[in-house]
């Protein structure tokens, strides 16, 4: 008889949520974590970076205060204090999770978990063996670095070090224009650094709808945030304490020298040293393949979160965790639909999306209709003097099924929740456009974009040929 | 409420399965997830699990019977439940939802559906998504007859669409049992097989092929690919094949004589570079085209070819993807093949055969080193081009792959 019903290796947003849900379902649960619970998300990712980004946003507002008739003549910003505040936020969040785990009677075991067999996890350094009927691997991920580049933690860094370094350099190169890259670009630029983003693909946020990426690029240009697209980094090294980058775009080589370089080219997963071989768990390109119930190829062994290589986001890991334990408990959880899960980026303007981009929808063979509504035609956005951006609906022409919603603009990351519900329910644009949205709110822009997809937007005049709206 | 156990669909092309044996007897208690029967499909033998626990009340098929997908083969219910509707030995019409979809073995919900004859609920309330409702309304479907696979049994668009398909595909139950698939018979050629036979014979008969091969060092291309994939995450995975498609398209732009069709003794230049990729289906191989590769970035090509493979499998390719190809990349590298000499697909006039990427010794500056290399073989139609042109064209592909930054622009 196994000591536990479920042992979860890794206490990030996948693992700890799975543990709490398992405990709620009456399963005897162990959570093995080598550091503090919360994983990269709480400790070194989402949460502290959002605290810093809010600081950067405040700095930006102070700089614009004349627009609002508010003046100050001795504005001083202290980045070290911002770092301290972000760590306090982290501490409170982590304590909250610890409290929840304790109240739910989850055994939190400190150490690194390694599979010994399909039902045994060895915890190092103690050497204790945890036996469980089901094992969930939730080992998480890490920031990838360019091959051959040494991260020294001061001049060449990843997001991990950026969350601790207490001073703002004069100039920063950001390698990678994905969500992490543009967020740190915005943060450093807010605190006065000269920022240059180097992105290999055609646009910043290359996975977003192209219209969204173009709007973000326009906003970044206005904010003085530099970027180079279609540019590959060939070499990055430290010379005389500065970061030196050899980059190549359109066949032209050039050099960049900055005080700091931050590598944000994406995430890899932790699948080495987990004992996967011992349990016979298959991997593919370093990831652990799972089915819709998060089962690996080995009975009783599950994997969730970054290690599954699906969509490396905290809320995705949490959802996978719930699906895994509900399946273990004999419930019938609905299968995940990764395409419909929301994706958020927290620079200003914010970017959020779920579902298919317009290009993807066409590629899937859909007859597509789209609708856009700019925030500059929205009263609440104007009142808040934050009018960059728009909402875009991508819908299927026949039945009006919402295929994707893409938002760039104020509070986009909160506005996307409505879109996620619409997609999850297989709603039509008419379901969204017929829902009364309170006035004045930013969410009216969502409704109006849905109306625009039906050619019925009220608060915007577009020439019948579908004029450029932004 | 009684639950029907139906013949599950394991794979999109499965139409029927053979019941090998029952693992339970009538009257046995079964628990949810317990194996109750063994069936044979054209691919494998599979155990069917009970989706609900209860008493294994009645079997409606005998070992050896060949049963259509979706047809009820047993009933599970409470010990005292009235199942007289099954007693006449006449099973209700085939269950609908789920039956026409590729059912994963991991989704037991699809292996047993609620009794179809159940009357619609009195209050007329059916859980269904808005889009499912719209489609049902338009097609005149009574949603209470469709079983849902969404959250809490909600009927999704997919459920309604597969209901429609099943209704179209299996309107009547066959009166006589189909012949056993195990009987030896001449191998029937599918339409696809017949088409392949015809076209390949025509190509070898009419087009004089010449062949040129080259060895390409793939170190830089692999580095670019892994950098792209690190950036892209799971949303788009760039394969070696995607790089080959892009490199071919660029080379075709430079040497447009290879982007031609040979029809009725005429060489016809084609505007867009529509590069065909081979996709293996159960029925045979098809090579639909990734359209307009010259104007697509590598990532767009990766996304397009993934979409192409999915749609090829679901049978929803566009006509121009079937027939608009102007060049073909045929890659057997994933099978460990070193070198592939391919047959030109008429009316195209060249095809690139691709072997695997593997570490091999190469001589560099008089020293033997190990590098990641790949062998490419170009088959050209001698009526349209000569070997020297083929050599230049292939050298351009090699150059692009060895200095892949040019593929990005």
Residue-wise pLDDT tens digits, A411-442 = 999 999 999 999 999 999 999 999 999 999 99
Among the ranges given (A161-170, A231-240, A362-371, B319-328), the one the predictor scored with the smallest mean pLDDT? B319-328
Tens of pLDDT, residues A192-215: 999 999 999 999 999 999 999 999
CB-CB neighbors (< 8 A) of B223 in chain A? 147
Interchain CB contact of A359 with B (< 8 Å): yes
pLDDT above 90 covers a percentage of chain A that reads 90
pLDDT at A470 over 50: no
- State the nearest Cα–Cα gap between B15 and chain A, in angstroms: 24
**pLDDT surpasses 60 at A69:** yes
Q: Smallest Cα–Cα separation from B12: which of B364, B324, B380, B310?
A: B310
Q: Which range is least confidently modeled, A366-380, B89-103, B248-262?
A: B89-103
Q: Is the pLDDT of residue A399 over 60?
A: yes
pLDDT of residue A125: 87
Mutate to test the interface with B, among A200, A284, A362 (most CBs of B within 10 A): A200
Judge whether B386 counts as a catalytic residue.
Answer: yes
- At residue B116, the pLDDT reads 34
pLDDT of residue B262: 92
Alpha carbon distance B307, B50 (integer Å): 35
Q: Which two tokens stand for residue A330?
A: 């004999």
| The pLDDT of residue B51 is above 80 | no
Mean pLDDT of the B302-326 span: 84
**Stretch A464-468: mean pLDDT, rounded?**
46
Arithmetic mean of pLDDT, A140-161:
94
How many angstroms separate the CA atoms of A9 and A121, rounded?
8
**What's domain B191-408's superfamily in CATH?**
Chloramphenicol acetyltransferase-like domain (3.30.559.10)
Report whether pLDDT(A468) > 60: no
- Location of structure tokens 């740190």: A184
pLDDT tens-digit profile of A163-189? 999 999 999 999 999 999 999 999 999
**What is the band of B167 on the pLDDT scale with cuts at 50, 70, 90?**
confident
Q: Where are the domains of chain B?
A: 3-169, 191-408
A contact test, residue of B226, B408, B409 with most A CBs within 10 A: B408
pLDDT of residue B284: 72
A161–chain B nearest CA distance, Å: 20
Of A203-212, B280-289, B322-331, B370-379, give the lowest mean pLDDT range.
B280-289
CB-based contact A200 B106, cutoff 8 Å:
no
ipTM reported for the complex, 2 dp = 0.71
* pLDDT top residue among A32 and A147: A32
Kindly list the distances between the CA atom of residue A373 and the CA atoms of A222, A454, B14, B105, B160, in Å, as whole numbers in the listed order.
Answer: 21, 12, 47, 44, 32
Which architecture, in CATH terms, is A156-265? 3-Layer(bba) Sandwich (3.50)
The answer, for A293 touching chain B at a CB cutoff of 8 Å, is yes
B292's tokens:
């307009």
Query: Which pLDDT does position B3 carry in this prediction?
Result: 78
Q: What angle do CA A113, A116, A117 make, to 5 degrees?
A: 120
Contact A354, A311 (CB under 8 A): no
The fold adopted by the segment(s) B3-169 is: OB fold (Dihydrolipoamide Acetyltransferase, E2P) (2.40.50)
Residue ranges per domain, chain A?
A: 4-143+268-338, 156-265, 349-453
More confident residue, A202 or B173: A202
Question: What residues of chain A lie within 8 A of the CB of B307, using their CB?
Answer: 363-365
Question: pLDDT band for position B44 (50/70/90)?
Answer: low
Between A89-93, A263-267, B313-317, the lowest mean confidence (pLDDT) is in B313-317
**What's the pLDDT score for residue A16?**
98
Distance from CA of A145 to the nearest CA of B (A): 9
pTM of the shown model? 0.64
Which of A274-278, A318-322, B22-26, B404-408: highest mean pLDDT? A318-322
pLDDT class of B24 with cuts at 50, 70, 90:
confident
Q: Is the pLDDT of residue B316 over 90?
A: no
pLDDT over threshold 60, residue B27: yes
Block residue for tokens 């304790």: A102
Percent residues over pLDDT 90 in chain B: 30
Report, as an integer, the average pLDDT of B189-201.
Answer: 79
Q: Is residue B13 scored above 50 in pLDDT?
A: yes
Residue of A nearest to B105 (CA): A291
Q: How far is A373 from chain B (nearest CA, A)?
A: 23
- CB contact under 8 Å between A363 and B224, yes or no, is no
Among residues A237, A110, A183, the alpha carbon closest in space to that of A350 is found at A183
* Per-residue pLDDT band at B93 (split at 50, 70, 90): very low
Q: Which CATH architecture has domain A4-143+268-338?
A: 3-Layer(bba) Sandwich (3.50)
β-strand pairing of B45-49 with B54-59 = unpaired
Query: B-chain residues within 8 Å CB-CB of A320?
Result: none
Tell which residue, A171, A385, A168, has the closest CA to residue A261: A171
Burial A307-318 (b: 16+ CB within 10 A, else e): bbbbbbbbbbbb
Quick check: A207 and B236 CB within 8 A? yes
| Stretch among A296-300, A465-469, B27-31 having the lowest mean pLDDT | A465-469
In whole angstroms, what is the distance from residue B379 CA to residue B204 CA?
11
Bin B387: left if φ > 0, else alpha if -120 < ψ < 50, else beta.
alpha
How far does Cα A305 stand from its chain's mean position? 13
- Joined together, the tokens standing for residue A130 give 């945890």
Cβ neighbours of A426 in B, within 8 Å: 129-132, 156-157
**Separation of alpha carbons A313 and A321, rounded Å:** 12
- Asked whether residue A157 carries a pLDDT value surpassing 60, the answer given is yes
Q: Which listed residue (B142, B282, B382, B406) is catalytic?
A: B382
Select the residue of A295, A365, A426 nearest B316 (Cβ to Cβ): A365
A349-453, what's its fold?
A: Enolase-like; domain 1 (3.30.390)
What is the pLDDT, as a whole number, of residue B41?
Answer: 67
């Amino acid at each position: 008889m196994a000591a536990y019903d479920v042992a979860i290796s890794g206490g990030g947003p996948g693992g700890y949520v799975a543990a709490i849900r398992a405990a709620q379902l009456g399963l005897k649960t162990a959570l093995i974590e080598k550091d503090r619970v919360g994983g990269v998300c709480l400790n070194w990712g989402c949460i502290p970076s959002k605290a810093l980004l809010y600081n950067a946003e405040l700095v930006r507002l102070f700089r614009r205060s004349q627009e609002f008739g508010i003046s100050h003549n001795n504005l001083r910003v202290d980045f070290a204090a911002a770092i301290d505040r972000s760590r306090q936020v982290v501490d409170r969040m982590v304590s909250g999770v610890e409290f929840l785990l304790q109240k739910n009677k989850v055994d939190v075991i400190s150490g690194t978990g390694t599979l010994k067999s399909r039902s045994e996890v060895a915890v190092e350094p103690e050497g204790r063996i945890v036996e469980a009927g089901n094992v969930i691997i939730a080992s998480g991920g890490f920031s990838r670095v360019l091959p051959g580049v040494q991260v020294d933690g001061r001049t060449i860094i990843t997001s991990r070090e950026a969350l601790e370094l207490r001073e703002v350099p004069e100039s920063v190169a950001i390698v990678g224009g994905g969500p992490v890259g543009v967020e740190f670009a915005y943060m450093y630029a807010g605190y006065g650094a000269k920022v240059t983003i180097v992105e290999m693909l055609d646009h910043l946020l290359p996975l977003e709808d192209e219209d969204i990426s173009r709007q973000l690029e326009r906003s970044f240009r206005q904010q003085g945030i530099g970027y180079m697209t279609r540019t590959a980094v060939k070499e990055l090294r430290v010379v005389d304490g500065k970061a030196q980058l050899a980059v190549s775009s359109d066949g032209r080589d050039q050099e960049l020298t900055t005080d700091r370089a931050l590598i944000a080219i994406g995430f890899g997963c932790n699948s080495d040293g987990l004992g996967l071989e011992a349990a016979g768990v298959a991997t593919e390109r370093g990831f652990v393949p799972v089915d819709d119930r998060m089962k690996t190829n080995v009975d009783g062994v599950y994997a969730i979160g970054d290690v599954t290589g699906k969509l490396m986001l905290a809320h995705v890991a949490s959802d996978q965790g719930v699906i895994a334990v509900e399946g273990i408990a004999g419930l019938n959880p609905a299968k995940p639909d990764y395409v419909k899960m929301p994706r958020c980026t927290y620079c200003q303007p914010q970017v959020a999306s779920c579902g298919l981009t317009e290009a993807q929808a066409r590629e899937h063979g859909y007859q597509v209709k789209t609708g856009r509504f700019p925030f500059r035609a929205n009263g609440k956005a104007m009142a808040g003097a934050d009018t960059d951006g728009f909402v875009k609906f991508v819908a299927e022409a026949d039945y009006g099924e919402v295929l994707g919603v893409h938002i760039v603009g104020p509070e986009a990351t909160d506005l996307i929740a409505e879109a996620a519900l619409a997609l999850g329910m297989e709603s039509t644009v008419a379901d969204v456009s017929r829902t009364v949205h309170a006035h004045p709110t930013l969410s009216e822009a969502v409704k109006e974009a849905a109306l625009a997809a039906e050619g019925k937007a009220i608060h915007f005049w577009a020439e019948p040929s579908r004029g450029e709206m932004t | 409420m009684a639950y029907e156990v139906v013949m599950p669909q394991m794979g999109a092309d499965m139409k029927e399965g053979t019941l090998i044996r029952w693992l339970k007897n009538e009257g046995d208690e079964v628990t949810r997830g317990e194996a109750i029967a063994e069936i044979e499909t054209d691919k494998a033998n599979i155990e069917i699990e009970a989706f609900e626990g209860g008493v294994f009340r009645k079997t409606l098929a005998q070992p050896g019977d060949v049963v259509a997908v979706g047809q009820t083969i047993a009933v599970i219910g409470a010990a005292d439940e009235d199942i007289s509707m099954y007693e006449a030995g006449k099973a209700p019409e085939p269950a609908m939802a789920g039956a026409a979809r590729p059912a994963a073995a991991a989704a037991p919900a699809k292996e047993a559906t609620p009794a179809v004859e159940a009357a619609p609920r009195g209050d007329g309330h059916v859980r269904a998504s808005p889009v499912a409702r719209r489609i049902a309304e338009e097609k005149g479907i009574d949603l209470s007859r469709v079983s849902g696979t969404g959250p809490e049994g909600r009927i999704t668009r997919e459920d309604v669409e597969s209901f429609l398909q099943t209704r179209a595909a299996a309107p009547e139950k066959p009166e006589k049992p189909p012949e056993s698939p195990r009987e030896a018979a001449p191998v029937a050629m599918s339409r696809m097989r017949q088409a392949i036979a015809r076209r390949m014979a025509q190509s070898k008969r009419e087009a004089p092929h010449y062949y040129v091969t080259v060895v390409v060092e793939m170190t830089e291309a692999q580095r670019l690919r892994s950098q792209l994939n690190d950036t892209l995450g799971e949303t788009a995975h760039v394969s070696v094949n995607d790089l080959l498609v892009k490199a071919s398209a660029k080379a075709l732009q430079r040497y447009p004589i290879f982007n031609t069709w040979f029809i009725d003794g005429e060489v016809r230049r084609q505007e867009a570079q529509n590069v065909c990729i081979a996709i293996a289906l159960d029925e045979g191989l098809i090579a639909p085209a990734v359209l307009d590769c010259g104007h697509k970035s590598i990532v767009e090509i990766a996304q397009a070819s993934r979409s192409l493979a999915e749609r090829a499998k679901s049978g929803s390719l566009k006509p121009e993807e079937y027939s608009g190809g102007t060049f073909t990349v045929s890659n057997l590298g994933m099978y460990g093949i070193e070198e592939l000499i391919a047959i030109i697909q008429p009316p195209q006039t060249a095809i690139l055969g691709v072997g695997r990427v593997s570490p091999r010794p190469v001589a560099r500056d008089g020293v033997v080193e190990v590098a990641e290399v790949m062998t490419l073989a170009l088959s050209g139609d001698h009526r349209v081009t000569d070997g020297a042109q083929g050599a230049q064209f292939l050298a351009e592909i090699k150059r692009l792959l060895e200095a892949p930054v040019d593929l990005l622009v």
